[in-house]
Chains A and B, each alone.
Chain A
Amino acid sequence: MVRLVFLGRLADVAGAGEILAAAGPLAEVIARLPADLAVALRAPRVRVAVNGAVLAPGAAPLLAEGDEVAFLPPVSGG
């Protein structure tokens, strides 16, 4: 399994801060999620981090057992 972590408004769409999913290519993992969540995760301004490293936009990683994938919507601090 891989752990999917949803930050900011994405946690509201997912209905949870994190869920477990079967490993596989990122696009396939997303495609197996509910449609509204999949659409939100594919938005161009959502960045993805795997195991604490932020990926380049458009990267297509293969997610392995135990990986943690974070979906990071636009930030707002301060």
Chain B
Amino acid sequence: MSADVRLLDAGFAPGAEIAAFTARHADAGGVVSFIGQVRGGEDVEALELTHYAPLTLPGMEALAEAALARWDLAGLLVIHRVGEMAPGAAIVLVAAASRHRRAAFEAADYVMDHLKSDSWFWKRERRGGVWHWIEPRGADQADRARWD
């Protein structure tokens, strides 16, 4: 079983991806999915994610392999956007399929925690026409440290 890991520079439809993933793993007992999208409000006009090609996708693939080694999964889907996005646009989708639900919940949680604060992405928001770089919150670091 290998994971489906993608780094996209254009928008994607999380619902269609989840439907296709679920259909591919029709024999799994459960599918857990998480969609991260650009937060609205707080005057955020746009979000931009940048990456470094030699590291970012290889790092995502290594993260997926680590999740597969740690939990007994039937399938794992990891999609992450880069580029400029408007509020409401999907940034990230993680879906895990497994025979029993606990592995799928935990694997999706693990992958998200590592994408937030341990993967090669840089994020900035435009508010009032000015770009502001976003650093991970202490809570994000603490979430990731739960898995060490």
Contacts and interface: CB of A to CB of B under 8 A. Distances in A.
A59 to B, nearest CB: 16
Contacts of A52: 54-55, 58
A75 B54 contact: no
* Range class of the B interface residue count: 20 to 34
Contact of B80 (A74, A76, A77): A77
Interface string B108-148: 00001001111111111000000001111000100000000
Given A8-B122, A8-B133, A9-B133, A78 B91 contact: yes
Interface string A1-39: 000010111001000000000000000000000000000
B49 interface: yes
B99 to A, nearest CB: 27
Interface in A46-78: 49, 51-52, 54, 68, 70, 72-78
Interface of B: 36, 49-50, 52, 54-55, 58, 80, 91-92, 112, 115-124, 133-136, 140
Given A8-B122, A77-B80, 9 more contacts: A12-B133, A49-B55, A70-B52, A75-B118, A75-B120, A76-B136, A76-B140, A77-B117, A78-B80
Contact of A77 (B54, B55, B123, B124): B123
Contacts of B36: 78
A76 B123 CA distance: 6
B55 A76 contact: no
Contact of A78 (B50, B55, B92, B120): B92
Given A76-B116, A78-B36, A49 B54 contact: yes
Contacts of B122: 7-9, 73, 75-76
Kindly list the 7 A-B residue pairs having the minimum CB-CB distance in the complex, ordered from nearest. Answer: A77-B121, A8-B122, A52-B54, A78-B116, A76-B123, A9-B133, A77-B119
Nearest to A71: B52
